[in-house]
Each structure stands twice: as structure tokens, then as C-alpha cells.
Chains A and B, each alone.
Chain A
């Protein structure tokens, strides 16, 4: 249908539209008009993706000069594929309606592992291996050697692409990963490099977060995207953790040992090259004396994404004299390495700030701050000069150099924690140096600073005001949308007590209590008797789950449950878990019904949807707080308190509740779906926890569903399930939660729609 969103003609590829989609598009349009950033929360299963795509594409077509590109960031490869499929539907609809030929170029980008078509390279199993092998076939000096010595193997796909691929642009259309591979095979071009080149002039790019947030990759891939782009982060409820991970470095004893061998290899290569080809080193030296000009030229007039690892001033200055020649630099790295080794030889935990570290390093091994800053850049230059083919081998030394650059560049927002052993195994020496970023805004700052609009969206972003605070930006719109429903298809219940009136909670003091464990078991047992098909239960941690399940086994609860349903358990092993999932789905399919026991923050809680009969009930045992004793977390909480005035408890609760919401949200994946959401902990009934759930869950949480006992829960659940089991047709939805164009245009419907969005 064709919609009119405040004067913008939007083609929407379906005959019906949800009211909240319309509302969502309104807010989105306002955000784009204001050229600002937005935070939008809309429940999963209400068509977030298609609303986003159809509005932004319409905007691009209407104002081609205002918005030139859409960069859509998602988390996993299947999600990326899903987005591309939606986009294809939209473009087909455009073609059918307007009759014009599609002139849009949209493509997905992923790692070499998913895109390579070279028969030998693509058969490798791990991403790192593929990258390394690819590099050893396509590096510039390898190709130069190939010219003089044709027996040197190169990748013919890349050669083909390099010869002709750049002149002939890829024809407009929608390309997912497989389409790119097909296209590559037909032409004999490398799809990976083709995609990387094509994103520069594509209208829509779909890729993973890391291509934009991880400074090491962003510099390679995304630095030439134009300023007039709209960036969308979908499923962004974990974006702060992604940012932090991309800036943090962990160094173990093994890293240092591998680094040691790297240094030795470097030394040998340098002395060999010195004998055979001294001119090369001289050439590099000459370039360094003049400053890193080549990088400089590329950075002209702030056209490129600035790299947080390397601040601008570094690229403008020449490398300091003390690490200019190759030998001096290797000596420098050696000293740094020995210093780190000495630091790791400790018996108690040390926590210090970056300035303290720098002071200490100057006193111990006379390393100044400035050469440390240039370490990453200098190493890259050296590796390029030495023509080392297998970069993958040098990951250890690269990591160390990144650490050196980061620690000397940022004096705030980072902390260094050296732990002599893991908390769980205090007798085994396993020293780790955590250089941990505490401020997610550092990694994401260039993105906000550079692009005209950044949209952060997900099904669970509540409370909305905390994201702008921890990411340090000013959104022009922050809105939360509820789900309009023809029938109340979700039923959140907070169970606080067992039938024996013992409070149910996973609080640390009482979590080992027999009564609590038994009550949890009874709850699951009762639910397994009344809920049809699949039940998913989430625990707060793997250890807790193991304890409880063992205890249930001893008490005979497990046996009773198995009379009703089969039980599957998620483990830390990915292969085992996917096996369990597969069997779980099989059991649900054939009507036997099953229970999946899994862990919040685990694989199941994040990426896997339990549509319809795969998840009729979700039970959340306890509040999924993070492990609060970890020093990294403590440092981060302190930082948040000092810098952003966010109280520790607020953040911990926020983090726990977003994971809880993410877990229970797995069951409802659309309006025809229905499911119970059972929060089994009395602490959920408190206003501070309840208030942090997403609005679309909170709305259905009445006073009558708080602090229930198990048999009350069973009564409510039975009632709910019986209601939901009645046939539900599309006509029932029409006019309420599903609208035709005429219905959408009626006056009172527009009024209702205005209430859907709640501005934070």
C-alpha cells in the first residue's frame, strides 16, 4: 500500500499495516528531517525491519541529496540475510507499482569466510585461517612477485577483479551473500573485494556492527562512507558491550610468549633483509622521517571516519626518532614486552590507571609516552616493509602494539587490572592483564560525530534514557512503542512465593535454600502439566542451573517433570547446544512437548526465536544479575557513577532487566503468537525492577499478577491458555491491530496512533 507519512510517499509492500508501524515511521521521519539521532523501542515481531527499510528507502528516493546511503548494522549472518530478504520484497513491490526499473544497489557484506569462492581458501574452517590465507595470496608484494615469478600462486579471482572489476560497476539490484557469490562466480571476480569496493557507491549496505564499531576493522572497511548516511543499529540493546569489547585488550602469559617468537622472527627477517635488500629498509626509513604522509593524504578534509585507536595528531606528526629505524623499534618492543612479563609476575591483584602505568613504565624501562603512541602504526609499517605474508601469525605482537597505543593515548575511561589467577581457581597461576575500556562512548563517538543520523532500535531498550547517557549522545527522538493487540496475547506473571509461602528468589543468601529450589521445581512441574508444547526456562548462570538440576534430580522432581515433557539442557559447548535445540524443536513438532533449560546471557537467550508452539511459556528463574565480584565490572560501575552519575544499583538492575526482557521476549514473535511470561522471583514485583521492563510488557502487568503463589499462577495460566486456544483469524485483528489503508486514514484511528508512541 501507499502511505502518506507527513507528506512523504512511502511504498509499503504489504496490504495491511500495524498501527505501531505507522507510528514508528512517523517518528523515524521526524528524526531524519531533523538530521539527528534517535532511540526507538518497538516490540519484536511487529515488523520493525520493514518499517525502517520502507521509510528510509522512500526518503532516499524523495530526497536523494539529503540521504545518500543507508547503513544497516545487525548482529549475525542470519539476521543480515533476513534484512536483505525484506529489502528484496520491498524493491519488488516498488518495481510492480511504479513500473520503473530498479536503480537501487543494496548489498550485504560479511567476512571473507562467508564470501570467499576460492576453492582452496574457502574450504578452510576458521575465519582467521581464511583471512590469513587470503592475505598470503592477495598482498600487494605477493602479486608483485608473481609478475617476475609466475610460479608464485595468487588468487585468480582477485586478479580478475583487480583487472576489470573496478571500472564496471556492479549492476543495480539486491544482493545477499549468496547472490554476491553467484555474481562473483559468473564473472570470475572475488565477491569479498567486490562487495567492499561496491559499498562505496551502494545505496544500502547491510553488515555487522563490527565493521563500524571495531576500530581495527572500521578503518579498513567503513572509512570512506559519506557523511550523509543514515546508520541503523538493529537489536542494539547490547551495543554498549560491543563497544567496550572492541576497545578492550586482554593479555595473558601465552600472548606474551607468542609475541616473543614474533619478535624473534622480526629480528631475523630484518637482519636477512639488511643483507639482501637494504634499500627497502632505507626507503621505509626515509618515509618515516617525512611523517606518515600517505595516511595523511587520505584523511584530507575529514572525509574519513576517524579511528579512535589513532588520534589525528599522530597521523600528522612524524614518528619519533627513537623508533625510526627497524632495529631500534624491535629493541623498543622487546623492552616493552619484558616489562609486561615482569608485570605479570605478581601474586596479588593490581589495579591502576593509564597514567600510573605510564609513569611506572618510564621509571622501569625508560619508555616515553610518545613512541608508545606510535607503536601500532610503526608496527604496521614494518610488517608491510618486511613483506610478511602470514599476518595471522603476528596477531600477538599486533595486539601488544594496539595495547601500547591505546594505553598511551587515552588517560581517561580505561583501567588496567592485573590478576595473578582466575577467581574460580585461586591455586593455578594464570596471570592476565586486562586493559579494559569502561566508557562505551569512546568507540561509538566517531560514528555519532560523523553520520548525519544514527538510529538505535531494538525490542528491548527500556529504560530509554540510559542509552543516551552511557553512549554520550543527544538524540532528537526517543520513543517507545507498544504493541496494539486484538487480544491480550502475552501474559506476564510475577511469582513470588511457593505454595508453602516461602519467598522465591535467587538472592545470594537464599539461593542454596532447599525450600527455594523445591519451589522452583514445583513451579516447573506444574507448568509442564498445563502448558502445551514447548517451555523455555532461563537460569541466571550455568553454575546455578547445574546446582538446581542436580538438586531436582535428588528430590525426584526431574522424574515427575519428565512424565509430562522431555527436558533439554543448554551447555557451554556450542555443538551440544545446537544439538539440544534441534531435538527440542523436534519434540515440539511432534506434539510430545519439551522443556529447554538454558541460561540468560547464553546463546539461546540472544539469538534464537521460539515462535508459536516452540515457546508457549518462558520461565525466568531469578534475576539475571551479572557476576558482581569481577573487578572489571566494579571498575566500570565506579566509572559510570563518577562520569555519568549513574548509580551502581541502577546500572546493575538495568542490565539485569534488559537481559530478563530479552529472555522472555523470545516467546512472542508476532501478533498471532501467544505466550506466558513467568518471572519467578519476588524481587521483580518491586517498582524499580518492574519499571525497567519494556513498556509493551509493563502494560500487561497488572497489580493482580504480582507476587503470586504457584497455584494462583497455575489458575491464571490455565485461564489464559484456554482463551488463547480459541481460533484466531485475521478478521479478528482487522481494524484493531491490523489496518487497511482506509482504516488507517480514518480520524479516530489517527488519534489512537498518536498515543502509541511514548516519548521518553
Chain B
């Protein structure tokens, strides 16, 4: 870090620890005083690559490698236009292709390859996808949402924990004090010998301890509603994107029982199967039971698997 310096006035961080390096869109550094001096009129050319620059575009250099500063700058700009989300694509593959395309554009712009053409592509894209860009501007990506949620939860948790422990400590202190006072009172008024009272007190104290321990173990803060939605989370009511699919068609189940065909349920009476089955009482029939059901089941059972394979 110490060997970094301004390429124009040759000052280094080592000699001047308060040196501030600045970077512009071309990715070349200048120190703050040189910027002041060269760009008095608000604009000028880069000392190293002759790119026309504005003074207002100079930024403090964050990274050791100024190329990274430049890339991040470009990337931010590109991402403002290319802000499609994963949900905007039907398959993951398309999304990945899109990501790669974005990466290509950033790569080209930072390394000065085909700058003109790349810019044209970007403009074209911007024109084509105006509404999507507008729409997505307000939306965060799903991952960012997730992160925000986690952060929020972390905050809530720590706050809650702090309060809880505070309360818990106070409560414990109080009960202990009360206990002590009770012992003193008892010693004053009771007729039992002091040793017995002390033993009782000790017992009670131990019980209290174990109780506190137990409580501690099953404390579980509720931060989820019974529906599984986190408390404090905003639920979006935007319509779910419809998926076009072929409707499901029911196909009757066909089971090969390896036996003679079983008569249908309504044929049982006619074929005389029901003659030897005890008839259902009115109580049974109240629930929808008929003797045919049991009989049909029994026949199915008996017929299946009679033929060898």
C-alpha cells in the first residue's frame, strides 16, 4: 500500500500519509492536488490516455488496483440497465446465458475491446426493454431480499435476547431476595428449630434453581406465525406468474388381478352372491354401509392371484 503514488507528481503514500488518490472513468489515478491543478476548468484530458474527463467524475480510489475501481464503476452502470431478475426468465439456462452476456459487456468495456459496438448493443437493449427496466428498478433481487430479511431477523433476535436476559436476571434477583426475606421472617416468628428451617430453605433454593434451569431450556421465542410466515415480514400480493401447461386427464386405474373377472358391485345381488352374506342392520346402513361392499371386497380377495403367471 505504501508504494502507491501519484504518477504525475510522484508523491507516494509513504512520504505523504494523507495522500488521496482519485480515479476517473478511464481507470488512471491522480492525486487530489494534481486533480485540482489540472482540472481547474472542470474538464480536461487524462494525462496517460488522453481521454476527455470531467472533474466531477473523479472518485476516491477504494482499491489498490485502479482497474478494479474502473470496473466497478462500469459494472454499476451496466447493471442499472441490465437489471432483469431470475424470475423474468423461464429457464435457468436462459438466465445464465443472460448473465454471461452482461459479464461480456462489462469485460469489453473495462478492457477497451469493441467499445463502440458494445455501447450500441447496450443502447439497443435499453430501447427494447424499457418497461422491464423501469419495473425492475424498484424491485430488489430475491437474494437481496433474503439478505435483508436475515439482517432484520438478526437485529430483532439480538434485541429480544438482550431484553429477555435483562428481565430474567431481574426476576431471579427478586425471587432470591424474597426467599431470603422469607427465611428471616420465619426465623423470627416460627417455633421450629433453626436448623430445620435452614434445611427447608436450602431445599427451596435448590428447587428454585432447577426451576430456573428448566425454564431456560424451553424458552423458544416465537417469531413465526402458525402459517409459517415470519413475523414482521411483508407479504407481497402480486399475482403469481401463470404457467401454461397441458391439463391433467384422468385415466382409470387398471389392475391385473391374475384371476377370473370379478362381478360388478351392482351385479352381486342378481348373481346370488349376497344370499349367504349377513344382511346389514339399519344401524350399519346409516353410515352408508351395504353388505354388498364387504362381499365385493371378499370376492376380489378370493379371485385375485388364482391364475399362475
Contacts and interface: CB of A to CB of B under 8 A. Distances in A.
7 contacts: A321-B103, A325-B103, A338-B64, A359-B144, A362-B144, A362-B147, A368-B141
A320 B62 contact: no
B219 A645 contact: yes
Interface in A340-373: 341-342, 345, 353, 355-356, 358-359, 362, 364-366, 368-370
A335 B72 contact: yes
Given A324-B100, A335-B71, 13 more contacts: A289-B96, A320-B96, A320-B99, A323-B103, A338-B65, A341-B63, A345-B1, A359-B144, A359-B147, A366-B72, A366-B75, A369-B147, A642-B161
B65 to A, nearest CB: 6
Nearest to B153: A355
Interface centre among A322, A368, A369 (most CB of B within 10 A): A322
A327 B108 CA distance: 11
Interface in A512-558: none
Interface string B85-121: 0000000110111111111100100000000000000
Given A324-B100, A358-B147, A365-B72, A317 B79 contact: no
Chain A, interface SS category:
helix
B154 A355 contact: yes
A366 B63 contact: no
A334 B64 CA distance: 11
A411 interface: yes
Contacts, number: 86
Contact of A366 (B1, B76, B98, B100): B76
A335 B106 CA distance: 13
Interface residues of A, number: 35
A339 interface: yes
A331 interface: yes
B143 A370 contact: yes
Contacts of A319: 96
Contacts of A356: 151
B143 A369 contact: yes
A328 interface: yes
A335 B69 CA distance: 9
The 6 closest A-B CB pairs, nearest first, are A321-B99, A321-B96, A321-B100, A338-B63, A355-B150, A338-B68
B216 interface: yes
Contact of A339 (B63, B95, B96, B148): B63
B236 interface: no
Interface string B142-173: 01100110110010010001000000000000
A270 to B, nearest CB: 13
Interface in B187-241: 216-217, 219
Contacts of B63: 338-339, 341-342
Nearest to A290: B93
A652 interface: no
Nearest to A411: B150
A642 B156 CA distance: 13
Query: What is the interface of chain B mostly: helix, strand, loop, or mixed?
Result: helix
B130 to A, nearest CB: 23
A355 B155 CA distance: 12
Interface in A308-327: 317-325, 327
B147 A321 contact: no
A331 B71 contact: yes
Interface in A702-717: none
Contact of B154 (A323, A342, A353, A368): A353
Interface in B119-142: 141
Contacts of B141: 368
Interface string A410-425: 0100000000000000
Contacts of A325: 100, 103
B68 A334 contact: yes
Given A366-B79, A645-B219, A322 B103 contact: yes
A359 B149 CA distance: 11
Contacts of B62: 342, 364
Contacts of B68: 334-335, 338, 365
Interface-centre pick from B103, B150, B217 (highest chain A CB count, 10 A)? B103
Most buried by A among B76, B97, B98, B151: B151
Contact of A328 (B76, B93, B103): B103
A320 B97 CA distance: 9
Contacts of A323: 103
B146 to A, nearest CB: 8
B107 A324 contact: no
A335 B74 CA distance: 13
Nearest to B79: A366
B51 to A, nearest CB: 21
Given A321-B100, A355-B147, A331 B65 contact: no
A470 to B, nearest CB: 14
Given A289-B96, A331-B107, A356-B151, A322 B72 contact: no
Nearest to B76: A366
A90 B157 CA distance: 55
Nearest to A285: B100
Contact of B96 (A318, A359, A366, A369): A318
Nearest to B218: A645
A319 B101 CA distance: 14
Nearest to A324: B100
B18 to A, nearest CB: 14
A375 B1 CA distance: 27
A359 B161 contact: no
Contact of B107 (A320, A328, A342): A328
A335 B110 CA distance: 13
A348 to B, nearest CB: 17
A331 B1 CA distance: 21
B256 to A, nearest CB: 30
A163 to B, nearest CB: 41
Contact of A642 (B1, B101, B157): B157
A290 B25 CA distance: 37
Contacts of A331: 71, 107
Contacts of A328: 100, 103-104, 107
